[in-house]
Structure 1
Amino acid sequence: MSEPTMGVSGDRPASALPRPQNEAGDAMEIYIRPTADDASVVVADHIEAAIREADGGPVTLGLATGSSPIAAYDELARRHRDEGLSFANVTVFMLDEYVGLSPEHPQSYARFIREHLVEKVDLDTAKVFCPRGDTGDPVAEAARYDAAIKDAGGVDLQLLGVGATGHIGFNEPGTSLASRTHLVTLTPKTIADNSRFFDSKDDVPIHAISQGVGTIREARKLLLIATGENKAEAVRQTIEGGVSARWTSTALQLHEDATIVVDSSAASKLDYLDYYRFIDANRPEKK
């Protein structure tokens, strides 16, 4: 793993449209699948398409951690092994990293991506970048990391998960939708949710370096996966809520190429669920 070189609102307003429109006037693509594994296959399809569309040229992926993308990474590794999907021309920038953890720490995100994807495919480790959580100056590290993404030409496809509080990356409620990569203080809710990965809640770092919402929005394509009933309210807000720093995931509504992939449990609170299913079943062919 290489080092990089380098307004809260209240309740959501009633939606005037059954599906949010982005700045380009196109509706976000929403895929609803029966199970988390089915959703993960759709995510893997989109990532494979981004790689193959580059036709052997360079492609930069932004990758997420947590439990949501693991099955998609497993599917990508299978496609590499069984179908010859190559990652040789892929560069990776991770979304975030805990402050205080070295790249070798069992719960560091640098180690996570090595174990779940990098070591299973033909990714060049010199082209896999993650913020250094063990830096002595996390503010400076955040600025260096943000610059490294720009210097690399930006991200072609950014994979995202979403927290129960609607956070993408570690952009907690109240984070500016124009924010750059920055030092974050995690909420008690996020700390509690992530404690399952540590021996105890006391072991969870309370700070992280995260790409900002503004940084994330500069990716050419955004791809979000959410599974499980505990993500249902966040999914509802992301798709049908008003754009707000209260739910930073609502920033996807402002992007010209955003895709959201959910399982049935995560979709269970959507007001227009039947309509989204109808669209999903009758998706027009893209030119």
Structure 2
Amino acid sequence: MNIHNCTGYEEMSQKAGNSLLYDLARKPNLLLCTATGNSPIGLYNNLVKSYAESPHLFGGLRIIKLDEWGGIPLNEPNSCETFIQQKILEPLNVPNDRYISFDSNPSNPEGECIRIQSEILDKGPMDTCILGLGKNGHLGFNEPASMLEPYPHIAKLSPESLQHNMTRSMDHRPTYGLTLGMANILQSKKIILLLTGSGKKEVIGELMKKKVTPQLPASFLWLHPQVECYVDAGCMGKSL
């Protein structure tokens, strides 16, 4: 894991965005796995600025959604789908035929997970995966547990996930999660990990001990050959 210490959120977002743009310039049809939430918003905003200047760079970009709240309408304003549509697909002009997405309320959730895995086998592996870090160390909805699931699966949501900012104003509360598994994430050619946000100092400290355990899913990233980890000094209570 390559650690990049940044003075704050803005520098973190800029450096991570530059790393992704470098990947995209080398592979125009790059398959990008996108997380949602506050951590990657700045990175996505920088991509939109780059699109305004060089739209040709994004002409082949493909997107796969990391996870989704289950049991809610897909058009719920606080769904992962709405986030990705508004922050990535629409401003970067990525059409639906270059987008792989969990349905948030499928009639057969198990079948939906099988479908996503089939899409990955057909169109993957993922080239670059953007990840944030949950306060309990989760990645997507890969929650701390005695064992972790390798492939797309239905996830029981932890209390920490159910308290996420996205769920607080939902008309319909999620009853489960749908997420790519740890093998899907680790099979990405490159991972961009964004460490930022309040209340994460302790879990970041645990991650930096380099001990791999399913009780801290993010710790498995130490096993990956190319993780670019950008640390916002502000979330650690210090400045650089």
Q: TM-score range by the shorter chain?
A: over 0.9
How many residue pairs get aligned? The number is 240
Whether 1:46 aligns to 2:19 is: yes
Q: Aligned-pair RMSD on alpha carbons?
A: 2.1
Whether 1:198 aligns to 2:168 is: yes
- CA apart distance, 1:245: 0.4
TM (normalized to structure 1)? 0.78
Code of the aligned partner of 1:216 = I
Whether 1:183 aligns to 2:158 is: no
3-state SS in 2 of match to 1:179? coil
Whether 1:261 aligns to 2:234 is: no
Residue of structure 2 equivalent to 1:32: 5
Runs of 4 or more, structure 1, over 6 Å off, are none
Whether 1:215 aligns to 2:181 is: no
- Work out whether residues 6 and 231 of structure 2, in 8 Å CA contact, stay in contact via their aligned partners in 1: yes
Deviations 1:223-276 (A, max 9, x none): 11021341222222223241000100001000011111111033459xxxxxxx
Gaps of 5+ in 1: 1-27, 270-276, 278-287
Deviations 1:167-202 (A, max 9, x none): 00111111634521100010112111x1455326x8
3-state SS in 2 of match to 1:230? coil
- Work out whether residues 158 and 216 of structure 1, in 8 Å CA contact, stay in contact via their aligned partners in 2: yes
- Work out whether residues 32 and 267 of structure 1, in 8 Å CA contact, stay in contact via their aligned partners in 2: no
- Mark the structure with the bigger radius of gyration: 1
- Work out whether residues 142 and 149 of structure 2, in 8 Å CA contact, stay in contact via their aligned partners in 1: no
Residue of structure 1 equivalent to 2:129: 158
Deviations 1:17-64 (A, max 9, x none): xxxxxxxxxxx111111111110111111111110011x4x2111110
Q: Distance in 2 between matches of 1:158 and 1:30?
A: 16
Whether 1:238 aligns to 2:220 is: no
Among 89, 108, 113, the residue aligned to 2:60? 89
TM (normalized to structure 2)? 0.92
Whether 1:143 aligns to 2:86 is: no
- Work out whether residues 67 and 180 of structure 2, in 8 Å CA contact, stay in contact via their aligned partners in 1: yes
Q: Distance in 2 between matches of 1:240 and 1:263?
A: 18
Q: Distance in 2 between matches of 1:96 and 1:68?
A: 15
Code of the aligned partner of 1:70 = I
3-state SS in 2 of match to 1:219? coil
- Work out whether residues 191 and 206 of structure 1, in 8 Å CA contact, stay in contact via their aligned partners in 2: no
Q: Distance in 2 between matches of 1:177 and 1:251?
A: 10
Residue of structure 2 equivalent to 1:70: 41
Residue of structure 1 equivalent to 2:93: 122
Whether 1:107 aligns to 2:95 is: no
Deviations 1:125-165 (A, max 9, x none): 32111111110111121121122112102100000011000
